[in-house]
Amino acid sequence: MGCFWGPELRYQRVPGVVTTETGYTNGGAESVTYEEVCSGRTGFAEVVQMRYDPSEVTFSDLLEVFWQGHDPTTLNQQGGDRGTQYRSGIFTHSDAQLEEAQLSMELKQLEFGGNITTEIAPVENYCPAESYHQQYLAK
C-alpha cells in the first residue's frame, strides 16, 4: 500500500480498529531499520499491523479497506513510492486469515482485470518501525 503512514491513518479511522503499529515484515533478517529497508536489499515490506474488535469490524471489512486504499496492480510501487518495500501485500496471522485474503483477492481479480500483484503470505520476521514512524500522520 506504499508508505505505511497513509494506510496506518486510514485504518486508525475504521471503527473497531483498536490499535495500529507501523513496521516491517517478511524480510531476510530478524530485525531491521528504516534505512536498511529503504536500501531495497532486505526483502522487508512496510506494513501496518493492527488489533481490532471483531464484534465491531471483521477481517473481511479490513480487506475491503485494503483493496480500496491503493492500486494492487502496480508492482513494487504506489504513486511516488517505489521499491520492493512498497509492494502490495497482505500478511496474515492465521490460516483462516490467509484463506480469506486469498479468496478476497480471487474475487478482486475480476474487478481489476486479473492483474493484481498483491503478495499474500503469513507474517514472518515482523519488527515494529521506529517510534517516529508511529501514528506519524495523526500527530
Q: Which active-site residues does the annotation give?
A: 3
Grid cell in block for residue 132:
517516529
Task: Say what angle helices 95-111 and 59-68 make with each other, to 10 degrees.
Answer: 40
Rg (CA), the chain: 14
Nearest to 32 by CA among 120, 133, 124, 127: 127
Nearest to 15 by CA among 58, 60, 79: 58
- Other CB atoms within a 10 A radius of the CB of residue 66 amount to 23
The answer to whether 67 and 84 are in contact (CB under 8 A) is no
